[in-house]
Amino acid sequence: MDGIADQDKETLNYGTIESVRGSVVDVWFENGLPSIYTLLHSGNDKEIAIEVLAQLDDHRVRGIALNPTQGLARGMKTESNGKQLQVPVGKHIMGRMFDVFGNTIDHGHPLSEGEERNIHQPPPALDKRSTQSEVFETGIKAIDVLVPLERGGKAGLFGGAGVGKTVLLTEMIHNMVGHNNGVSMFCGIGERCREGNELYTDMKEAGLLKNMVMLFGQMNEPPGARFRVGHAALTMAEYFRDDEHRDVLLLIDNIFRFIQAGMEVSGLMGQMPSRLGYQPTMGTELSELEERIANTAAGAITSIQAVYVPADDLTDPAAVHVFSHLSASIVLSRERASEGLYPSIDLLQSNSKMATPGIIGDRHYKLAQQIRQTLSKYEELKDIISMLGMEQLSAEDSNVVNRARRLERFLTQPFFATEQFSGLKGTEVSLKDALDGCERILADEFKDVPESAFYMIGTIDEVHKKTDNVNKKDSPTPVTSVKPEADKLPV
């Protein structure tokens, strides 16, 4: 046993802290200089982790601390076993919430022993990637018809507070877990702890937690931790894709915070800033993360990323770099949310690179184009309607408006995630049923059916059922069945 203990001691490499400036720590090593990304441990209980980011000379390295550096001082010892930051992988991590180090933060029982992997992994080789462009069906009509997502692709979700981002993500998790034998992962980068707690509670109540893994690098944590939590989440996701051959839905909120954390780390490391103060290595760092999200023969990691656009400026370098990786953009509209049209997706602003005849087929492509033209024409006519009323429109324009309003309502949908609030049973609609419904509306098959019959339904066949229910409610009650109130009064 003594021999084994001696062996372990020999693998450890010891250094001495030379300087501490905020999160930046310089460490001196007599020999055996640690390589880039190696993790060093320091502090009284070795609780402070420092990731090596630069080798300054033959004896000195510069690293960024992943925890607060209170208590670190010059002359303190650091130790390294030559390993990088590792996180647990395997089936036993399902239903748990982690931080960047792979520690559980959900107040549950400690994690059982299992395999751990480095968070820095290369993207899949080109010959391992799938060359087929496949559509990722979500069961949500508005997305599947007009903004088809790519299996193994990346979609951006744009929207402010209160327009339904989290509800939409929750519904996608529900559909993914329920029907595709898939795994859902939520990665919060720079999230408020309140948001993480709410999401965890919502998922638990909806019964979705057992097929989900959550990771958080919170807003109050040092930039090093926020910068690495995305890599940690991808390492866990890659296990399910490559080892278990399952599809993974990876939700990242917010990808801009990843770039922002990289900018802070770059500034602390003393690198010369690029345009608008961004790090000179922004493109490389984002690519290292995004290129690991891919579709391979084993399975696919499909990612939906919330994107904050600084000052709504789409020419901002961060936004430009993120857009170059996205295959679809889903824009949520506050105006549609205020009208009660949920999911509140702006059907004209949202777009997808998958919406081409070669991928989705001629019928789907032509229908999507027709829907967009109809909605676009309705948008143009809105000003005339608000000023002069529907009566002043030509018969042709009036038909366009009627079709557009029915389409808008048909593309709403009751969600499983909101059953307890709305009282409406959630529905999942196949792409075939969604296309059939849109086609029949565009063909004026339901011209005489009231608009309200299309609101919050699943397939188009539910229109008749809803119309019958409305007619029953509106039909006058037979007089014979109602006794006058006067008859009930005592004589």
Instruction: State the catalytic residues.
Output: 165, 191-192
| Token representation of residue 415 | 């969600």
Q: Are 374 and 404 in contact (CB under 8 A)?
A: yes
251 forms beta bridges with: 186, 304
Please give the Cα distance from 380 to 312 (Å, whole number): 24
User: Which of 470, 403, 462, 464 is CA-nearest to residue 427?
Assistant: 462
Question: Residue 121, exposed/middle/buried by CB under 10 A (0-12, 13-18, 19+)?
Answer: middle
**Residues 241 and 248: beta-carbon distance below 8 Å:** yes
CA–CA gap between residue 136 and residue 446 (Å, rounded): 30
User: For residues 288 and 283, what is the distance between their CA atoms, to the nearest angstrom?
Assistant: 9
C-alpha 196/C-alpha 201 separation (Å) is: 9
Under 8 Å between Cβ of 445 and 414: no
- CA dihedral 270→276→281→287, nearest 10 degrees, is 150
For residue 216, give both structure tokens.
């958080």
- Nearest of 455, 436, 431 to residue 138 by alpha carbon: 431
Paired residues of 218 in beta bridges: 191
Give CA–CA dist 445/375, Å, rounded. Answer: 18
Cα distances (angstroms) measured from residue 423 to each of 261, 414, 415, 420, 439 = 41, 9, 10, 6, 29
Peptide bond into 254 cis (omega under 30): yes
Q: How far is residue 433's CA from residue 443's CA, in Å, rounded to a whole number?
A: 15
Name the residue among 187, 60, 145, 204 with its Cα closest to residue 343: 145
* Angle of CA points 150, 151, 156, to nearest 5°: 50
> Is the sign of the CA dihedral 141, 148, 155, 123 positive or negative?
positive
Question: Beta 328-331 vs 248-253: how paired, if at all?
Answer: unpaired
Q: If you write DSSP's letter for every residue of 150-200 in order, what string do you get?
A: ETT-EEEEE--TTSSHHHHHHHHHHHHHHHS--EEEEEEEEE-HHHHHHHH
Q: Are 171 and 140 in contact (CB under 8 A)?
A: yes
Residue 334's Cβ-count burial label (10 Å; 0-12, 13-18, 19+) is middle
